[in-house]
Amino acid sequence: MLKIFGSFVLFLYNMVTRTERIRVLWNRFIEEATLIGVNSIFIVGIVSAFIGAVTCIQIAYNLTNPLIPKSTIGYMVREMTILELAPTITSIVLAGKVGSSIAGGLGTMRITEQISALEVMGINSTSYLVLPRILASMFMFPLLVILAMALSILGGYLAGTLSGVMAPQDYIEGIRTDFIPYNIVFALIKAVVFAFLVSGISAYKGYYTEGGALEVGAASTAAVTNSIIAILLADYVLAAVLL
Amino acid sequence: MIEISNLEKSFDGNQVLKGISCTLETGKCNLLLGGSGTGKSVLLSCVVGLMKPDLGSITFDGTVYTNSKVDIRQEIRRKIGMLFQGSALFDSMTVAKNVEFPLQMLTPDMSLEERRDRVEFCLKRVGLENAGNKMPSEISGGMKKRVGIARAIAPNCTYLFCDEPNSGLDPATSIKIDELIAEITHEYNITTAIITHDMNSVVGIGDHIIFLHQGKKLWDGNKEEILNAQVPELREFIFSSSLVRAAKRVEEEDGPQGLEHLAAEPLSEV
């Protein structure tokens, strides 16, 4: 375990030493940001909207006490979404989509000697291939989390009002009650940390793939599994430290 | 010229290279010949810097590569072009972009127009002037090898390394690839090292042949000398080829004229 951690740290160290020219990295960053961010909007949108809707319906189902105002449902949807569901569930979804793509892509490049080709040319392959992926993830995950927050709250609104569980003004009142701006900052910090973990772990797993197609599949699976475990551990640590 | 001196490399206690010393000569096709598992690929990986040898030294035109500073190693690496066994083309880029890639990365001062001209020249040199817009998945194995060669020579490499350039190709295409590598080597006077176990390559382009066996260099010479070499392992390797055995038998039965007659016959009659 310690050996793997040391190897991971060295991997990251190699990535930031002898980096390629800024212009090259910028172009790669834009490419990766498009792949990681823009191509994930649909899945993040669908997942977050439905999670918001289901959260709203289930809270309403449990809040049967007439003394508790209906606006509490909106308040709870907002708090759950911002603090936990948007950053964590979005990152877990992205671990599946982006993490497997990074590990699979790098793994394939490794077994088809494309990484060796870069190295022979004198190009730092970790800097060229991995650094832009990690930076693009750290930039795009928070944006996707913001989108997830908005769509999740909107999903809750639509589910709550269209199903007749609550009036629109109750929901609006709920999501505006006792708002703490720091919660948004906390969620975005989580998104950046999760992005680093997902992209870093997936890149590490893919970069050091050995063997053939079977091993590339195994590396992708391991990347997703390890990323999700890392997200959950980091989620607890960040909550304990920052809240 | 590349000088390899007393090179050793082990993996988990298994010594793959056992003190190999040899010279890869400039302007010649230097063939690294040997059976599977004799250490050819490991030797090449050490020379191009993909692996670090345990012992020994590698010198590129007087500059020591092993254990030198990163800047020196980078400088040498930028003079290296390599054709990989599976071509190792970047599958997200078109053929032209693959050839342009090392120029873009290694020669930032080159203008876009100069780069495009160079790409066009290199693709034309390998006979692929009309394939620039194709993706690697859309071209044949032989074409991929040609693109690999074009990419390797694009930045005016001084050293060209080819890892089994004939693997997976039909004999006719193999010969064309061999001839192309030989032409480029002689035309640009570069140092070329080719890993092979193809006897067609040996007798076709073997300006300098190094025979490896169980991690050791057993023989070196050229294509004229190899058939008469008196090293048992080398003779066993050469004459395990049915074609070479058949040629030898014809020579023994009918003399040199028999071989000439055989070579002159159409392939369908052989």
Are the beta carbons of B234 and B211 closer than 8 angstroms?
Answer: yes
Q: What mean pLDDT comes out for the span B140-152? A: 91
Query: A123 CA to chain B: closest CA distance, Å?
Result: 8
Distance between CA A55 and CA A49 in Å, rounded? 10
Given A114, A117, A122, which is nearest B74 (Cβ)?
Answer: A122
Cite the beta strand spans of B168-227 per DSSP E.
191-196, 208-213, 216-221
Q: pLDDT per residue over A87-140, tens digit each?
A: 999 999 999 999 999 999 999 999 999 999 999 988 899 999 999 999 999 999
B2-226: CATH topology is: Rossmann fold (3.40.50)
Choose the mutation target among A34, A109, A121 for the interface with B, i.e. most B CBs under 10 Å: A121
Cβ(A49)–Cβ(A154) below 8 Å: yes
Closest Cα in chain B, distance from residue A198 (Å):
23
* DSSP tag of B78: T
Q: Is the dihedral of CA A182, A187, A193, A195 positive or negative?
A: negative
Higher pLDDT, B197 or A40: A40
Q: How big is chain A by its Cα radius of gyration, in Å?
A: 21
For the CA atoms of B137, B142, B146, B148, what is the dihedral angle to 10 degrees?
A: 60
| Residue A234 and residue A193 in contact, taking contact as beta carbons nearer than 8 Å | yes
Question: A-chain residues within 8 Å CB-CB of B49?
Answer: 119-120
Give the pLDDT score at B199.
Answer: 85
Instruction: List, for residues A143-178, the tens digit of each pLDDT value.
Output: 999 999 999 999 999 999 999 989 999 999 999 999
Cα separation, A152 vs A82, in Å, equals: 9
How buried is B14 (Cβ within 10 angstroms: 0-12 exposed, 13-18 middle, 19+ buried)? exposed
The structural domains of chain A, with segments of one domain joined by +, span 22-242
Give A114's contacts in chain B (Cβ within 8 Å): 88-91
Higher pLDDT, B155 or A50: A50
Instruction: Tell me what the pLDDT averaged over chain A comes to.
Output: 94
Domain boundaries, chain B: 2-226, 239-270
Instruction: Supply the pLDDT for residue B70.
Output: 83
pTM: 0.86
Q: How far is CA A9 from each of CA A3, A23, B74, rounded to the nearest angstrom?
A: 10, 26, 23
